[in-house]
Amino acid sequence: MPVPVITQLLADGFDSIPYLWPVLKTLPWLIGLYLVKAYFEGARNGSERNMHGKVVMVTGGTSGIGEAVVRELATRGAQIVLLTQHALSDFFIVEYIDELRKETQNHLITAEQVDLASLHSVRTFATKWIDNAPPRRLDMVILCANTLTPAGNDIASTPGEGVEANWMVNYLANFHLLSILSPALRAQPPDRDVRIVFGTCASYMGGDLLHITASALSFTKQPKKTVNGKPISQSTTHAPSKFSPSNAHATSKLALTTFALAFQKHLSAYERPDKMPMNTKVLLVDPGLSRTPGTRRWLTFGSLIGLALYLLLYPFWWLVLKSPLGGAQSFLYAAMEERFTRSGGGLLIKECGERSFGRKEVVENEEAQKQLWEYSEKMVQEAEKRGKEYRIEMKRKGEEAKEEQEAEEEVKGYKEKNGKKEGSRRSRKAG
């Protein structure tokens, strides 16, 4: 077809071809739109790796970026273990796994119920995993789960354990999970390339850990500030900012980044019985802003009006935000890039390339890492204690409600058996 058109163009001129001028005028705009979209979509993963037989544990793998990561790794033959808050009999998770298996031609996709908003649920799963003998194979842990309380909404806490939701899901649950799984990670054979991939974001640079690591940060050099010629104290200069949903999310991500680097040191310091070098690598991934449910909730402030504005401006968001698959590229790069097999871990990946950390005075401060670890351990103990008391109380109330219901049914059955109902005697007298 192009040959006759070109022949006609040369023979009869531009005017002989219908709609040619409108097409030529529109073409530069379409090319420009494509280039802008390609720019905002970010870098593409060019690394490939044989994933057949590799066991990959994933949190947040049922939506957004996590779903795209799971789909791509399953397509390459990885055995996926989804950690999901849904019950395994839930219609959604059953349909989701069935669909994944059909689309990827991979039947090695399973799920385990783990509610990251409950430390008890995390402990139940992780303890069951490490109690297996010999240790179960585990090649990779990918932590994609994330939550964010929109601005203008009240701060929410997890039921029973009383931990702020952003802190729990984004950080403390991951700390608890990996702390328990640590023996299973260290027990993997020395020739196995084991990777732990943390999902973080640039918001961690606005986080605030001074209520945890104030003494640690006092070791770092801070600029002296004065007011009316009088120096301001260190604590006043670096006082924690007012607590808010955005601050809670940023602080949870800062804690996660700090813990990730500390966990790499924790694993590297382990001396294997076979004297072989430790083979577990920690990698942090910043996927950038993508069109995920979490980003949509943040942009809409969790309100119907915000959702209406989001839908109205959707062409703009489509242009400047990555697709979930685009956001997954850096995760796939961290999972499959060959050179990470030989690296020492503790790296930040963004746009499929290595980047340097911000807030180094916090995230790379060994004293800050130590204090955060100790604080987190203590917090887990206290929260689990509150959670246990809450479950006991709920069980007691449930038993009491059940006893009351049984008593009511027994009284009702007795009355029906004797042919008497409340008010019947008085009715007969009145008659």
- Is 358 inside a domain boundary? yes
Q: What string of DSSP letters covers 161-201? A: T--BHHHIIIIIHHHHHHHHHHHHHHTS-TTS-EEEEEE--
State percent of the chain over pLDDT 90. Answer: 65
- Pairwise CA distance, residues 20 & 406, whole Å: 82
- The stretch 10-18 carries a mean pLDDT of 67
- Is 402 inside a domain boundary? no
- Is 250 inside a domain boundary? yes
- The stretch 265-280 carries a mean pLDDT of 91
Q: Which two tokens stand for residue 310?
A: 């989001």
**Tens digits of per-residue pLDDT, 96-134?**
999 999 999 999 999 999 999 999 999 999 999 999 888
Helix (H) or strand (E) holding 429: helix 424-430
Domain boundaries, position 70: 55-287+322-384
CB 278 within 8 A of CB 289: no
User: Angle, to 10 degrees, between the axis of helix 119-130 and the axis of helix 173-186?
Assistant: 10
- Is 408 inside a domain boundary? no
- Pairwise CA distance, residues 335 & 347, whole Å: 13
**Beta strands 55-59; 347-350: pairing state:** unpaired
Residue for token pair 């103990």? 381
**Tens digits of per-residue pLDDT, 371-404?**
999 999 999 999 999 999 999 999 999 988 888 8
User: Angle, to 10 degrees, between the axis of helix 64-75 and the axis of helix 91-104?
Assistant: 40
Q: What is the pLDDT of residue 9?
A: 64
Q: What is the pLDDT of residue 225?
A: 44
- Is 354 inside a domain boundary? yes
- Is 421 inside a domain boundary? no
- Pairwise CA distance, residues 151 & 247, whole Å: 10
- Pairwise CA distance, residues 379 & 229, whole Å: 41
Q: Is the pLDDT of residue 26 over 70?
A: yes
State the CATH number of the domain containing residue 141.
3.40.50.720
Confidence of residue 5 (pLDDT cuts 50, 70, 90): low
- Is 184 inside a domain boundary? yes
Q: So which residues are the catalytic ones?
A: 253
Q: What is the pLDDT of residue 419?
A: 65
Report how many domains make up the chain: 1
SS3 state at 207: coil
